[in-house]
């Protein structure tokens, strides 16, 4: 009887230790990562005296998260352990697009619809790809290519009409499969994509505004 009591006590102790170990593991903080806006643009960009709103990008559930997605195969999505974006990916991309538009110094005003801005044009992004793809593996580790693809629609808010639509994509191979190198590749791929999308959007808005009768001098 006494021996049984000792066995039960020992099992309870070991179970408690395992539970504490799990709690300690779970309590380890995640590393949070930010990305940067684009700040260099073509010097030939036209100036547009228009107000622009950038909507939150639409995205699939696999991307619409603060987790950092990596696809080991075409049919599987995994997430980096103990690493997170500082916010949901679509919100990060929206904020960086807005800041990138501002950094051109070519638009009258740009912001989110939630700030009460009455826009002349709306940028409606669709975040189609925002993940890494494992494209190879060696003894040294995996080769990961970061893919960023954004579809952009430019909407004339006055006529409630899409005036232009295009897709922008960049693929960047990370230096290693370590998290810091993956984030650098994400930043490079997103930066190139945003530069192309912002420049294209400004040119389309400029062309539309100068050819639209309501924008001509009376």
The H or E element containing residue 125 is: strand 121-138
Q: What is the mean pLDDT of the chain?
A: 88
Measured from the Cβ of residue 57, the count of other Cβ atoms closer than 10 Å reads 25
Q: What percent of the chain has pLDDT over 90?
A: 75
Domain spans in the chain, listed from the N-terminal domain onward:
33-215
* C-alpha separations of 185 from 72, 78, 102, 174, 196 in Å: 17, 18, 23, 5, 17
- pLDDT band for 20, please (50, 70, 90 cuts): very low
Q: In this predicted structure, what is the pLDDT of residue 113?
A: 77
Reported as a single tens digit per residue, the pLDDT across 6-15 is 444 444 444 4
Reported as a single tens digit per residue, the pLDDT across 88-118 is 999 999 999 999 999 999 999 999 876 667 8
The H or E element containing residue 179 is: helix 179-211
C-alpha to C-alpha distance for 117 and 125, rounded to whole angstroms: 18
**Residue range 13-27: mean pLDDT, rounded:** 46
The CATH fold assigned to 33-215 is: Rossmann fold (3.40.50)
DSSP annotation of 114: G
């Amino acid at each position: 009887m006494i021996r049984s009591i000792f066995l039960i006590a020992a099992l309870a102790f070991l179970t408690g230790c395992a539970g504490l170990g799990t709690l300690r593991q779970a309590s380890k903080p995640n590393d949070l990562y930010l990305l940067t806006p684009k700040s260099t643009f073509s010097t030939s960009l036209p100036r547009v005296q228009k107000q622009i709103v950038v909507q939150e990008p639409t995205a699939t559930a696999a991307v619409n998260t603060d987790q950092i997605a990596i696809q080991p195969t075409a049919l599987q999505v995994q997430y980096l352990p103990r690493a997170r974006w500082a916010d949901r990916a679509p919100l990060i991309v929206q904020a960086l697009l807005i800041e990138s538009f501002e950094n051109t110094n070519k638009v009258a005003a740009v912001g989110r619809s939630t700030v009460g801005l009455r826009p002349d044009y709306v940028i409606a992004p669709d975040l189609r790809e925002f993940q890494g793809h494992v494209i190879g593996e060696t003894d040294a580790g995996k080769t990961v290519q970061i893919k960023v693809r954004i579809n952009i629609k430019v909407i004339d808010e006055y006529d409630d009409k899409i005036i232009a639509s295009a897709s922008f994509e960049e693929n960047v191979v990370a230096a290693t499969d370590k998290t810091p190198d993956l984030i650098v590749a994400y930043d490079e791929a997103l930066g190139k994509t945003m530069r192309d999308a912002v420049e294209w959007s400004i040119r389309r808005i400029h062309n539309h505004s100068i050819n639209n009768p309501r924008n001509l001098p009376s």
